[in-house]
Structure 1
Amino acid sequence: MTPAWPRLLPAGLALVALIWGQDALSLAPNRLMPGAPLMARDVLPGWALLSLPLLLTGAAPWRGAPLAAAAALLVLLAALGMAAAGLLEGAAPAARATLGAAAWLALAALAALVFWPGPARVLAAALLALGLGALAWGGVLDGLSLAVEFHARREAVAAALLTHLWLSLAALGLALALASMLALAGLASARLGAFFDTLLGGVQVVPAIALFGLLVPVLAALLGAFPGLRAAGLGAIGATPALIGIALYLSLPLLRALRTGLTATDPAVLQAATALGMGRGRMLAWVRLPLGLPHFLGGLRVAAVQAVGLVTLGGLVGAGGLGALVFEGMAQFATDLILLGALPVVALALAVDAGLGAMERRA
């Protein structure tokens, strides 16, 4: 097997060349004002720049490219954190040291390499998570403006994350219940199944913002006609329109996956089950559902990742979650606040995709 280092050595050198003469950090007077760009060669220590190609070259034959990239990413991030802390010494209390474009590009390239397909990917992701936790716990990253913003809004970020998870799970559960009923109805009537598919397909072409906007007056009229619904906790704004709208979007991939799984059973198997005296209910529970599990998990994987992303837009109708931080940051032109909401959404989506993908492969 050809070792990975001959292929990764040019990548490491290109990475250093990318950030050498570009802005790695910028020093701004406060969280809203743009900062003065600072070149990597002026702020990063030489050992950090030298270690990037060495790590990508020397560690790759040992455990593969993902592990080498995780180590290089942690070294680069630690160097950026220490450089930011040095820049803030003697500066005004409101001053912020933010990551520059070259730093973001280098970190993104290394992060993509961490998740390169292969057996070392899981180990590399675990190393990266542990390393990030160690750097944060040790205060190495405290000089970066993103860490400063996080410390100032720790409770708000934690609450938004929990709300985001709850909304994602609730929308996914609601969509799964709806798709299951429609799939079973479609199994009994092909024409009815085609109608449901067309109906949910029409929802997909409506932009999410437009759908949420349409649901607000519809729910307001419904709550006005039936005040008891308001007493039950439903509202025209907030979680209710977000959950309904997101569930409608998620229902189509779930419906198609369920329908494919339920109809993928070999007719000979169905004939054998019928010969054994199985009714429709037992055949569904003991034959169709187990044999269609890989198809179900594939649709669930797509819908779960979509749920994590679409809940972000729920902040537009007052549902809360990480999307509320993103839109608040946009309103204030505060990049760090936007990232505080966006980065956990990306991490959640990747984690959900990886977890359900592993279940799908096993099934």
Structure 2
Amino acid sequence: MIPRLLAGLSAATLLPAVLLLLPLLHVAPNRLVTGVPVAATDALEAWLWPTVALAAIGLGLLAVGRGKAAAGIAGLACLGALALLLAGLGAGAAELIAGKPLATRARLASGAWIGITVLIGALSLAAQRARLPVGVTSAAAVVGLLTFLWNAGSLDALSLAVELRGRSDTLATAIRDHLVLALGALALAACLTGGLALWRRGRGAVELTVSGLQIVPAVALLGGLVAALSTLLAAAPSLRGYGLSALGSTPALTGVAAFLLLPLWRGQQAARRAACPGHLDAARALGLTRRQILATIRLPLGAPLLVDGMRVAAVQALGLATLGALVGAGGLGTLVFDGMAQFAPDLILLGALPIIVLSLATEAALDGLEAALRRRWPR
């Protein structure tokens, strides 16, 4: 209790200090330079003290409060502080770039990012203590707040919003391509591991192979696949008629799937060993058939472990799919690498933030499914 209290009180004290001492915005003449840091007093102005007060109240209640009521009030205070912070940053950015050339940008600085991260984390903690679904509650609150502020035009002056408006169509296509690539690689890897599981005598060789793939750098593997496919297509050009190509989705799907084999294989093997021999012997002694043993013993005990392996592989797939842009497969990696080539931090964030959101959502969904399976079939 005391360590948690000290941690909460420290956060309630340090977050206002972060907002007051660190720059909240950078104002630059264009999107390619960092710009001049802007302190909280100039970035937030009249929004500063209400934001600090609400943040301190929310974090303080999380530290000393008990029960659902205190957690609910703390969550509302943190959400209110987040709303004021974002609205204040948008208003401050609009004022700072008013009357300046159109290329002028106001981007979020370190203090703003730390403040936003801490407040979202505090909101999640409040939801947990109020015994609400943490991922769903936090995501709904943050997405609802951002949607409201976006529709109200409160964020229009921020550089990230400018990039989003300029690439909204590109972003939607990139998200779609990214999901197709990640899910396709996950399905391919799942099919491969399912087939390899039937080769009982070769399990040691399979384990060694899928483990060895992890030490190969992802970029090197993609480059090797491009070279190998180019050689193959040069020797057999007719394969192009089947959709095979040296660039694009073929090497990207294959390369990402190769790295997903290990978590899926280990999850599958853990699920296979979940039922102890005693349980299986007892089931056979009772006259249960293989199908009945699978439905009543192996599947209930192994399903959570299968989902756990799938959760690791799915999150890994969303991250690795970023590299598909290097071989022409599209996806959010296109925005990330374009931003790196142009030295445009907000363009990098425009590609990276959806990957983070998708990964967190996938992690929360599959973690919830795993927990539900464990409650349904406790070991």
> TM-score scaled to structure 1, two decimals?
0.91
Does 2:77 align with 1:63? no
Larger CA deviation: 250-259 vs 69-78: 69-78
User: 1:218 is paired with a residue of what secondary structure?
Assistant: helix
Within 5 A, what are the aligned runs for 1:297-336?
Answer: 297-336=307-346
User: 2:24 is paired with a residue of what secondary structure?
Assistant: strand
Aligned equivalents of 1:267 and 1:177: distance in 2? 27
Aligned equivalents of 1:148 and 1:263: distance in 2? 53
Task: Name the residue aligned to 1:254.
Answer: 264
Q: Is the CA contact 2:120–2:138 (under 8 Å) kept in the aligned structure 1?
A: no
Task: Name the residue aligned to 2:18.
Answer: 18
Aligned equivalents of 2:234 and 2:292: distance in 1? 44
RMSD between superposed Cα atoms in Å: 2.4
Shift of 1:32: 1.2
Task: Name the residue aligned to 1:53.
Answer: 56
Task: Name the residue aligned to 2:377.
Answer: none
C-alpha change, 1:65 and 1:314, in structure 2 (3 Å) is farther
What is the identity, as a one-letter code, of the residue corresponding to 1:90? G
Shift of 1:9: 4.9
C-alpha change, 1:182 and 1:283, in structure 2 (3 Å) is farther
Task: Name the residue aligned to 1:30.
Answer: 30
User: 1:26 is paired with a residue of what secondary structure?
Assistant: strand
Does 2:85 align with 1:80? no
Q: Is the CA contact 1:242–1:317 (under 8 Å) kept in the aligned structure 2?
A: yes
Shift of 1:321: 0.4
User: 1:33 is paired with a residue of what secondary structure?
Assistant: coil
Q: Is the CA contact 2:55–2:119 (under 8 Å) kept in the aligned structure 1?
A: no
C-alpha change, 1:170 and 1:64, in structure 2 (3 Å) is farther
1:257-291 CA distances to partner (integer Å, 9 max, x unpaired)? 11111122232343354456666566546643343
Question: 5+ unaligned residues in a row in structure 1: which ranges?
Answer: none
1:89 pairs, out of 98, 102, 106, with 98
Shift of 1:19: 2.2
Aligned equivalents of 2:154 and 2:358: distance in 1? 24
Does 2:163 align with 1:163? no
Aligned equivalents of 2:120 and 2:71: distance in 1? 19
1:271 pairs, out of 275, 278, 281, with 281
Does 2:145 align with 1:142? no
1:235 pairs, out of 225, 240, 245, with 245
Larger CA deviation: 311-320 vs 106-115: 106-115
Does 2:361 align with 1:347? no
What is the identity, as a one-letter code, of the residue corresponding to 2:358? L
Q: Is the CA contact 1:70–1:124 (under 8 Å) kept in the aligned structure 2?
A: no
Task: Name the residue aligned to 2:372.
Answer: 362
Q: Is the CA contact 1:6–1:57 (under 8 Å) kept in the aligned structure 2?
A: no
Shift of 1:43: 2.3
Task: Name the residue aligned to 2:204.
Answer: 194
Aligned equivalents of 1:7 and 1:65: distance in 2? 15
Q: Is the CA contact 2:230–2:246 (under 8 Å) kept in the aligned structure 1?
A: yes
Task: Name the residue aligned to 2:376.
Answer: none
Aligned equivalents of 1:253 and 1:160: distance in 2? 26
Aligned equivalents of 1:98 and 1:214: distance in 2? 39
Aligned equivalents of 2:219 and 2:139: distance in 1? 34
Q: Is the CA contact 1:28–1:95 (under 8 Å) kept in the aligned structure 2?
A: yes
1:189-231 CA distances to partner (integer Å, 9 max, x unpaired)? 2xx1111000111100111011111111111112223333311
1:2-21 CA distances to partner (integer Å, 9 max, x unpaired)? 9x998645423321111213
Larger CA deviation: 274-283 vs 86-95: 274-283
Aligned equivalents of 2:311 and 2:247: distance in 1? 28
Shift of 1:69: 3.3
Q: Is the CA contact 1:56–1:65 (under 8 Å) kept in the aligned structure 2?
A: yes
Does 2:118 align with 1:104? no
Shift of 1:238: 1.2
Larger CA deviation: 316-325 vs 113-122: 113-122
Question: 5+ unaligned residues in a row in structure 2: which ranges?
Answer: 374-379
> TM-score scaled to structure 2, two decimals?
0.87
Q: Is the CA contact 1:114–1:125 (under 8 Å) kept in the aligned structure 2?
A: no
